[in-house]
Amino acid sequence: MMATSKKGFVAPIFLDLQTLADVLALSVSTAQDLVRKGQFPQPRQLSGRRVGWLLREVQEWAEARPVSMLPPPPNTGAKKPRAGKSPAPMADQCEGNAP
């Protein structure tokens, strides 16, 4: 029996490979590599040729990940182009191309 709300939403139990990668913010190949290395829960057989990952096991794996000591990437300080302004042509910026 699946849990449904008044609007008819069914909470997912299994994730396919693409959805798994999207949920984890990883590439499909990285997710597959983690499974092969035994660093991620194994998929479950759903039918003859279909597998999926239990959402609960994926969530438990994610919660067990260590807190990162890496800071977020710094702001480079590069100026962003303003809307409506086009950059000057490169030929005009080079030395020796003065009018």
Q: How many residues does the chain have?
A: 99
pTM of the model: 0.61
> How far is residue 90's CA from residue 3's CA, in Å, rounded to a whole number?
61
What pLDDT score was predicted for residue 96? 53
Q: Is residue 21 a part of any domain in this protein? A: yes
Residues 16-67 have pLDDT tens digits of 999 999 999 999 999 999 999 999 999 999 999 999 999 999 999 999 999 8
In a domain, 85, yes or no: no
* Residue 74 counted as domain residue: no
Q: Which amino acid is at 13?
A: I
| C-alpha count within 13 angstroms, C-beta hemisphere, residue 43 | 19
CA distance 45 to 24: 21
Residues 6 or more apart from 56 whose CB is under 8 A from it?
Answer: none
Tally of domains in the chain? 1
- In a domain, residue 80? The reply is no
Q: At 88, is the pLDDT very low, low, confident or very high (cuts 50, 70, 90)?
A: low
The whole domain housing 47 covers: 11-69
Q: Does any domain span residue 63?
A: yes
